[in-house]
Amino acid sequence: MNLDDKIKQALKMDEAEVNKLLAEEGGLFAQLGGVFSGSMKGWNIYGFILSFFIAAAMFWCGYEFFVSTTLDERIFWGVLTIAAAVMTMGIKIWFWMEMSRHSTLREIKRLELAVAQLYAKHSGE
């Protein structure tokens, strides 16, 4: 039996354990909570608070757009509304990317652990 067959066999044996880990991972809110830990914790908290202020500014600018009377005011408030919406979307995309980064790092660490356990089994034989 070569090394590839041993790896495939070990991965099949650990499939139930991997499924258990995936079930424990949690949903969207658990992943979002994971963004607020680690080395980028401060920046993520800052971005989260900033997104609320920008969203509030977006709604206020939208309100001002609808109550303004002149064309110049409507253009001004409309451009500010669109700019705030784009900034809010950018921050939200950044959070999704952070969540993806944390998920990818978690998977890499699981693979490292699986390879280390497989190496320990193989070197012990």
Question: What is the tens place of the pLDDT at every residue in 70-106?
Answer: 999 999 999 999 999 999 999 999 989 988 888 888 8
What is the domain range of residue 53? 44-125
Percent helix, strand, coil in the chain (nearest 5)? 90, 0, 10
Is the pTM value of this prediction over 0.75?
no
Is 5 a residue whose pLDDT tops 80? no
Is residue 37 situated within a structural domain?
A: no
- What's the confidence (pLDDT) of residue 14? 63
Whether residue 86 lies inside any domain: the answer is yes
- 61-90 burial string, b = 16+ CB within 10 Å, else e? bbebbeeeeeeeeeeebbebbeebbebbee
Share of the chain above pLDDT 90, in %: 40
Could you give the CA distance from residue 96 to residue 89 in angstroms, rounded to a whole number? 11
If one counts the domains in the chain, the total is 1
Is residue 24 scored above 70 in pLDDT? no
Whether residue 73 is contained in a domain is answered as yes
Mean pLDDT of 28-52: 84
Rounded Cα distance, 86 and 51, in Å: 11
